[in-house]
Amino acid sequence: MHQRDSNRFTLYGCCVCIWILISPFQYGFHISALNQLQSVITCRKTGGLVDFWLGIPTCVRMTDAQFSAVTASFTAGGLVGSLAGNVLQENYGRKGALRIHAALIALGAGMMTIAASITVLFLGRFIIGIAVGIGVCVAPVFIGEIAPATIKGSVGVLTQMSIVIGVLITQSLGIALASPFHWRFVTLFSFALALQQIIFSGLITESPAWLSANKLELEARKVAAGLWGTVPAFLPSKISLSTVATPFTRNVDVTDDPEDPLLEGGPDDHIPVTHIPALSVHQIIQAPELRNAVLIMTYVMIAQQFSVLYYSNDILAKTLPDLASFVSLGITLVNALMTFPPIFLIESLGRKSLLKISIGGSLLSLLLVGYGINAGLKILSSVAIMAFVASFACGLGPVPFVIISDVAPYHAVSALSSVALSINWVTNFIVGLVFLPLRNLLAGGEASREGRVFYVFAGLLAVFSLVFSRVYKG
């Protein structure tokens, strides 16, 4: 089967790539959108006093529990969005799904910008969660389908890069705009960006693979030429009959493509191919031939969340109390800088090698963080945290998004993406829920034992990573 000959995007292809990456950027942006603004939003900074600006209250009185509910609604919405992502991108196309994502972002961010009550903040945050759940599910698939084959991995890393940049921007805005009269500009920025994504969507092409799967061959080839400058003999959605033998792909129509002047290759390259209907989430879970792909994504997404270093900001703030407000920004900056190496190394070293390096560094860092906390060595624990962030960023952060389209055939990719991101959201919620109670249980009220929880997560990361390495061949 012929591959995409080009090793680069055309200028138009770059523009399409940037448009897609706005979606993971919005995900990263809203992960941390409320972190720097809590005291301002909840009226704590003004001592409970509420002023009005343009008829809108400068803050919304709420307890810590109510603020936590508003924050957590993002995760609940994210799970809903990820589960819906498969249906949306198959029915409306990759571009259509991201349009829906952008519209929901605009709605949710707009609600939060003008919110005068807890209910509106909660609903706005929940809608944003649904939107980013869709976006982070669809964007890696879309990116994988438009990327030239020789740099597919490098382009795939840009998904994680966009997420990290989103976090970095929202934290910077949070520091600059954390005042009663300015905090709403943070969500207004997201609203404006979503509006721009909607406006320019008319200039953006659909995925050539999705067009081909929906029997729009001529349009698919024209789009491919616009993205890569060349046209492959066969698009990703078209599979030789010799590779098709699943319960869900029997009795499908087989057609020879008509001769097309845009098609590269001679008559000998013309192999009978079949359009295979996209599978649902339920079908890929049931399909024996896709079980390995589902297991790979399950293990790597769980491993990714077990390697998230919770409350690292608090640990570093104790070491650098005078710079506490800039600690999270510094961590995110390190994360962003260390996401650059995988862009250049993923194709030469390979996905699995990058993951091994990342997992090894993360395990060692978690153990050192735990030891440093228990021994009262603040400098050691702080250095270990930064080493952990760097290790995570070079593999466990970006690679899981890249391999979604590597481990499954085209007709199963969108459903697998939904499954993978749903597992990611659920695991993130569970880890966030149990981390503090588990830390307190293991510490028994003694500060010299609070690092034990990191040993537990290091063990879990090691177990899931070991199982993952046995099923994923790279």
Q: Check if the beta carbon of residue 374 is closer than 8 Å to that of residue 390.
A: no
Q: Check if the beta carbon of residue 2 is closer than 8 Å to that of residue 264.
A: yes
Domain boundaries, the chain: 1-238, 276-474
* pLDDT at residue 96 in the model: 96
Is pLDDT above 80 for 236? no
Q: Check if the beta carbon of residue 451 is closer than 8 Å to that of residue 372.
A: yes
CATH topology match: 1-238 vs 276-474: yes
Q: Check if the beta carbon of residue 167 is closer than 8 Å to that of residue 29.
A: yes
* pLDDT at residue 98 in the model: 97
Residue 376 is classified by DSSP as: T
Query: What is d(CA 192, CA 210) in angstroms, rounded to the nearest whole number?
Result: 29
Measured at the CA of 29, the angle between CA 26 and CA 33, to 5 degrees, comes to 135
* pLDDT at residue 324 in the model: 60
pTM of the model: 0.83
Is pLDDT above 70 for 316? no
| pLDDT tens digit sequence for 393-441 | 999 999 998 999 889 888 899 999 999 999 999 998 888 888 878 888 9
Q: Where are the alpha helices (DSSP H) in 307-350?
A: 312-319, 324-338, 340-349
Predicted confidence band of residue 308 (pLDDT cuts 50, 70, 90): low
Residue 207 is classified by DSSP as: P
Q: Check if the beta carbon of residue 191 is closer than 8 Å to that of residue 110.
A: yes
Is pLDDT above 60 for 362? yes
Q: Check if the beta carbon of residue 257 is closer than 8 Å to that of residue 274.
A: no
Query: What is d(CA 245, CA 259) in angstroms, rounded to the nearest whole number?
Result: 27
Mean pLDDT of 75-95: 94
> How far is it between the farthest Cα atoms of the chain?
77
In terms of pLDDT, which residue wins out, 52 or 4? 52
* pLDDT at residue 459 in the model: 94
Task: Find where tokens 């929901």 sit.
Answer: 104
Alpha-carbon dihedral 128, 132, 138, 143, rounded to 10 degrees: 130
Predicted confidence band of residue 85 (pLDDT cuts 50, 70, 90): very high
What is the distance, to the nearest Å, from the Cα of residue 161 to the centroid of all Cα atoms in its chain?
A: 10
The DSSP line for 215-271 is T-HHHHHHHHHHHHSS--SS-TTEEEGGG---TTSTT--EEPPPP-TT--S-GGG--
Please choose, from the candidates 133, 99, 27, 143, the residue with its C-alpha nearest in 3D space to the C-alpha of residue 401.
143
* Averaged pLDDT of the chain: 84
Assigned superfamily of 276-474:
MFS general substrate transporter like domains (1.20.1250.20)
Spatial neighbors of 64 by CB under 8 A, at least 6 apart, are none
* pLDDT at residue 181 in the model: 87
* pLDDT at residue 309 in the model: 63
Mean pLDDT of 352-370: 93
Would you tell me how many other CB atoms lie within 10 Å of the CB of residue 36? Answer: 22
Q: What percent of the chain has pLDDT over 90?
A: 50
| pLDDT tens digit sequence for 251-278 | 444 344 444 434 444 333 333 344 677 8
Architecture of domain 1-238: Up-down Bundle (1.20)
Spatial neighbors of 281 by CB under 8 A, at least 6 apart, are 83, 86, 415, 418, 419
Identity (one letter) of the amino acid at 439? R
Is pLDDT above 80 for 161? yes
Query: What is d(CA 162, CA 425) in angstroms, rounded to the nearest whole number?
Result: 18
| pLDDT tens digit sequence for 176-234 | 898 888 999 999 999 999 999 999 999 999 999 899 888 888 898 899 889 988 766 55
Q: Where are the alpha helices (DSSP H) in 257-311?
A: 281-286, 291-306
What is the distance, to the nearest Å, from the Cα of residue 355 to the centroid of all Cα atoms in its chain?
A: 17
